[in-house]
């Protein structure tokens, strides 16, 4: 009598964050700062970002969480966005872009002190949002007049990295959007109700 062979469970593939970063950069049309390095396929080293202190990463966590705050799902702070930003700036940005980004940390604190009378870290979420809205207007005006080859406004860099880092994290990929590890056939014209999450 023939017996059935032992069925072995297929190991579930783990999420490759570097590949997710590459794909999101492609979806963004390669428009983000440092994308020429990301899209070239060069490896991103696993190292502590040089030149960024723990205080810098903590500040970037709070800036990221102001851009992508927690709702019914965790915000950018929960995915350690500060460490991600520091790593990407160190590994993927030019020296000039790196300098503009680092100077931006000081300028955000200055903007917060001018508006709220205290540092960004000491400010309330509402005060941080007010400053972020001012910087958003500033960066939009700056972006319209940016010459070819000139680094963009530091807040634009921070927004790009916050979005990229969040949506290439496990939380962003599986909770902020609806994730199908192995998609099936293409289905066009899927009904959509306002407020539903996109598919990734």
38-47, 113-122, 136-145, 189-198 — which is least confidently predicted?
Answer: 38-47
The dihedrals phi and psi of 125, each to the nearest 5 degrees, come to -55, -40
Domain that holds residue 50: 17-176
Tell me if 153 is assigned to some domain: yes
pLDDT band at 51 (very low <50, low <70, confident <90, very high): confident
Q: How far apart are CA 143 and CA 156, in angstroms?
A: 8
The mean pLDDT of the chain is 79
pLDDT band at 55 (very low <50, low <70, confident <90, very high): very high
Burial label, 70 (beta-carbon count in 10 A; 0-12, 13-18, 19+): exposed
Flag whether pLDDT at 36 surpasses 80: no
pLDDT at 157: 94
Note whether 79 and 169 are within 8 A (CB).
Answer: yes
Question: How much of the chain, in percent, has pLDDT values that exceed 90?
Answer: 46
Flag whether pLDDT at 121 surpasses 50: yes
The dihedrals phi and psi of 180, each to the nearest 5 degrees, come to -120, 115
- Highest mean pLDDT range out of 82-96, 115-129, 176-190? 115-129
Tell me if 40 is assigned to some domain: yes
Tell me if 9 is assigned to some domain: no
Tell me if 43 is assigned to some domain: yes
Number of domains, the chain = 1
Tell me if 189 is assigned to some domain: no
Tell me if 193 is assigned to some domain: no
């Amino acid at each position: 009598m023939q017996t059935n062979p032992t069925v072995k469970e297929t190991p579930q593939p783990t999420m490759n964050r570097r590949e997710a970063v590459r794909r999101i950069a492609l979806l963004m049309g390669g428009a983000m700062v440092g994308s020429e390095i990301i899209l070239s396929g060069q490896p991103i080293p696993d190292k502590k970002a040089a030149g960024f202190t723990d205080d810098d990463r903590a500040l970037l966590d709070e800036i990221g969480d102001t851009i992508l705050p927690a709702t019914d799902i965790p915000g950018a702070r929960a995915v350690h966005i500060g460490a991600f930003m520091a790593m990407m700036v160190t590994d993927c940005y030019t020296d000039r872009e790196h300098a503009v980004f680092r100077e931006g940390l000081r300028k955000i604190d200055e903007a917060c002190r001018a508006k709220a009378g205290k540092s960004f870290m000491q400010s309330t979420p509402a005060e941080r949002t007010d400053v972020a809205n001012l910087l958003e207007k500033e960066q939009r005006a700056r972006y319209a007049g940016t010459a070819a080859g000139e680094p963009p406004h530091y807040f634009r860099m921070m927004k790009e990295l916050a979005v990229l880092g969040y949506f290439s994290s496990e939380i962003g990929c599986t909770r902020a959007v609806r994730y199908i590890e192995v998609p099936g056939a293409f289905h066009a014209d899927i009904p959509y109700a306002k407020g539903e999450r996109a598919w990734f």
